[in-house]
Structure 1
Amino acid sequence: MKIHKLITKTEELADLCSRLAKAEFVAVDTEFMRENTYWPELCLVQIADQNEAAAIDPLAQGLDMTPLLDLLTNNEDVLKIFHAGGQDVEIIYNLTGKTPHPIFDTQIAMMAISQSEQIGYANLVESWLGLTIDKGARFTDWSRRPLTDRQIEYAIGDVTHLAKIFPRMLKRLIKTGRGEWLDIEMESLADPENYRNDPSRAWRKIRAPSRNPQVLGRLKAIAGWRELEAQDKDIPRGRIMRDETLADLASNPPAKQAELSKVRGLSQAWSENEIGKRLMRTLRDAEPLPHDEMPAKTPRGAPLGKEGALVADLLKLLLKIRAREIDVAARLLTRSDELEALAAGVRNLPVLNGWRFEMFGRDALELVEGRLAFAVTDGKLQMTHIDDTADSMAETE
């Protein structure tokens, strides 16, 4: 494989992307910094097909990234391969307003062919290629220039290994017949709505303190305000205010600015500074949350009672058994909160649709409805369908 150490010129990048545009797939990775900023700072992009690989320096003076961004977001003929690519996709969306498509994530794919829940990149490489990744450059400051040869070699390795792993992984997926399972997962990963930064929706990511429309209205208002403050200052939102503090303010808003000094998580300065004034203004202007924006009533997180909790535990046991039987990550089939909702009577759930229903949901529903039981035979745990047992008894009679 031909390795281009570091591309810093637009013409070089355009030539590379022209060649890669003819490939069946490209492996992509990014290095970025976001510890001290609201927006992640893209510091390096690595890309490879089966013939060549390169690192691209987006911080290079005069470099136009358009050829690369066009390849990733506008070329539907080239499959884009990532590993745990959510943050990489977010960065590309922030730059272009589009997401890479079509897309394939090897971490998600591993869940369909093994019981690995969220396999890390180093473990992926070791399991498929038998190589040990040098983690020495993992926590480097990618914004510093010049980059060392070791940094560039480490970074390019992320995509050269991925370009070797993907064809092998694809063969296994084809053999198992589970490739179609991943279509929905990959489309979800590429959905631009997952990355659209809308301050008016920021409150939905915070644990709601109640279902009171006035409380939720204040939560929505100050969560949106925090996003705008953080964007304006380009600092992480948590440096403006932590989620817990937001929830406290929504539930117990102070009557005047001087009382902000008593709020957990805020300093004395908030009681008299300009940001404190803006916060108080936001709280005063907050409207009750409209009825059509109220979160749906679901049993998620609600007490199930002793019987319901027991059913949820049985469902989790069934999930472990089924995941082991078909060698798939339990997380790909469903999650604990969904099982608790099922135990509590909810039926409009992903696990009761499509391939998930065929692989697990049907048995889960039968367990909840009393048509599936566990039994121990010869020291091994087995599942017994009640209808089948009744039919067998009728035949013996």
Structure 2
Amino acid sequence: MKIHPLITDTTTLAELCARLAQSPFVCVDTEFMRENTYWPELCLVQIGNEEEAAAIDPLADGIDLSPLLDLLTDNEDVLKVFHAGGQDVEIIFNLTGKTPHPIFDTQIAMMAVSQSEQIGYANLVESWLGKTVDKGARFTDWSRRPLSDRQIEYAIGDVTYLATIFPRILKKLRKTDRGVWLDAEMERLADAANYQVQPDQAWQRLRAPSRNAAVLGRMKALAAWREMEAQDKNIPRGRIMRDETLADIAGHPPKSQADLAKVRGLSQGWRDNEIGRRLMAVLEQAEPLPKDEMPIRNERGAPLGKEGSLVADLLKLLLKIKARELDVAARLLARSDELEALAAGLRDLPMLQGWRREVFGRDALELVEGRLAFAVKEGRMVMTRVDEAAADPLLQEQADAAE
């Protein structure tokens, strides 16, 4: 594989992208900094295929990233391959208003060919290539210039190894006929709605202090205000106010701006500064949260209760058995909150739709409805239909014991 010197000019970048546009796929990775900013600062882009790879310096004077961004967002003939690419996709969306498409994420794909839930890149390289990734440059300040040869080599390695691993993962997916399982997951990763910042929905990421409509209304208003303040100043939202402080103010609103100085997590300056005045204005204008926006209790429908919790535990055991049998990550089949929702009586769930219903959801539903039981065969936990158990006295005895 040919490794190019660091690209710092538009002409060389355009030539590289023109060649890569003829490839069936390109592997992509980014290095960025966001510790001190609201918006992630793109510091380096690595891209390559099986023949060549390069690192691109987006901070270089005069460089125009348009050839690269056009390749990633507008060329539907080239598959864009990432590993754990959510933040990479977010950066590209912030720059263009579009997401890479079509897209493939090897971390997600690994869930369909192994029991790895969220395999890291170093472990991916180790398991497929038997090589150890140099982790010495992980904590590099990628915004500082110049970058050393070691830093650039480390960064490019993220796509050179991936260009070798991706075809192997794809081959295994085809052999197991599980590629279709991932279609919806990849489309979800590429869905622009995941990366659109909507301040009025920011409160949904927070832990609600209560189900009181007035408290939740204040939380929604404060979270939206904090989001816009952080965007305007381009600083992390936690620098404006921590989540716990926001929830505390929503639950126990100060009567006056002077009282802000008594709130844990705020400085004395809030009693008379401009941002404190804006916060108090937000609280004064906040309205109770409408009924149609109230969160579902426990986010899982009705409370489970003692018996429901036991059913949920049985479903989690079933999930472990199925994941082991299929050699896939349990999380690909269903999530814990879905299992609890099923135990609570809900049925409109992803695990009961499409391929998930076929490989897991139907059995989960039958377990809840009493048509499936646990049994032990040759020292292994297996599932058996209740009618099958009835035909076999030993299985019936084991099924009765499980109940």
Partner of 1:69: 69
Deviation at 1:245, TM superposition (A): 1.5
Would the aligned equivalents of 2:303 and 2:344 in 1 still touch at CA under 8 Å?
A: no
Aligned residue type for 1:310 = L
2:23 and 2:176 map into 1 onto residues whose CA distance is: 25
Would the aligned equivalents of 1:299 and 1:344 in 2 still touch at CA under 8 Å?
A: no
- Change in CA separation of 1:127 and 1:56 when aligned onto 2, cut-off 3 Å: same
Partner of 1:89: 89
Query: The residue matched to 1:180 in structure 2 has which SS?
Result: helix
Query: The residue matched to 2:254 in structure 1 has which SS?
Result: coil
Matches within 5 A, 1:121-132: 121-132=121-132
Query: The residue matched to 1:7 in structure 2 has which SS?
Result: coil
Q: Deviations over 1:99-152 (max 9, x none)?
A: 000000000000000000000000001111111000011110100001100001
1:136 and 1:353 map into 2 onto residues whose CA distance is: 44
Would the aligned equivalents of 1:111 and 1:332 in 2 still touch at CA under 8 Å?
A: yes
Partner of 1:227: 227
Give yes or no for the alignment of 1:162 onto 2:155.
Answer: no
Deviation at 1:178, TM superposition (A): 0.2
Matches within 5 A, 1:95-174: 95-174=95-174
Percent identical residues: 76
Gapped runs of 5+ residues in structure 2? 394-403
Give yes or no for the alignment of 1:21 onto 2:21.
Answer: yes
Aligned-residue RMSD, C-alpha: 1.5
Q: Deviations over 1:359-390 (max 9, x none)?
A: 11111111111111112344332212113334
Partner of 2:316: 316
Q: Deviations over 1:213-254 (max 9, x none)?
A: 222221111101001111111111011111122122112211
Aligned residue type for 2:241 = M
1:298 and 1:133 map into 2 onto residues whose CA distance is: 42
Deviation at 1:271, TM superposition (A): 1.9
Query: The residue matched to 2:165 in structure 1 has which SS?
Result: helix
Partner of 2:46: 46
2:102 and 2:379 map into 1 onto residues whose CA distance is: 47
Matches within 5 A, 1:1-397: 1-297=1-297, 300=300, 303-390=303-390
Deviates more, 1:284-293 or 1:81-90: 284-293
Would the aligned equivalents of 1:298 and 1:341 in 2 still touch at CA under 8 Å?
A: no
Aligned residue type for 1:67 = P
Would the aligned equivalents of 1:319 and 1:330 in 2 still touch at CA under 8 Å?
A: yes
Q: Deviations over 1:53-75 (max 9, x none)?
A: 01000000000000000000000
Aligned residue type for 1:371 = R
Q: Deviations over 1:276-299 (max 9, x none)?
A: 111111111112223333334565
Would the aligned equivalents of 1:299 and 1:340 in 2 still touch at CA under 8 Å?
A: no
Deviates more, 1:182-191 or 1:345-354: 345-354
Would the aligned equivalents of 1:300 and 1:341 in 2 still touch at CA under 8 Å?
A: yes
Deviates more, 1:203-212 or 1:336-345: 203-212
Deviates more, 1:252-261 or 1:8-17: 252-261
Would the aligned equivalents of 2:245 and 2:264 in 1 still touch at CA under 8 Å?
A: yes
> Please, what TM-score do these two structures have when normalized by structure 1?
0.96
2:379 and 2:2 map into 1 onto residues whose CA distance is: 57
Deviation at 1:206, TM superposition (A): 1.1
Query: The residue matched to 2:4 in structure 1 has which SS?
Result: strand
Q: Deviations over 1:168-224 (max 9, x none)?
A: 110000000000000000000000000001111111111222333222221111101
Would the aligned equivalents of 1:301 and 1:337 in 2 still touch at CA under 8 Å?
A: no
Would the aligned equivalents of 1:86 and 1:189 in 2 still touch at CA under 8 Å?
A: yes
Would the aligned equivalents of 2:107 and 2:118 in 1 still touch at CA under 8 Å?
A: yes
Would the aligned equivalents of 1:35 and 1:236 in 2 still touch at CA under 8 Å?
A: yes
Aligned residue type for 2:57 = D
Aligned residue type for 2:203 = W
Q: Deviations over 1:80-113 (max 9, x none)?
A: 0000000000000000000000000000000000
1:299 and 1:129 map into 2 onto residues whose CA distance is: 42
1:298 and 1:39 map into 2 onto residues whose CA distance is: 31
1:377 and 1:91 map into 2 onto residues whose CA distance is: 51
Q: Deviations over 1:18-45 (max 9, x none)?
A: 1111110000000000011111000000
Aligned residue type for 1:53 = A
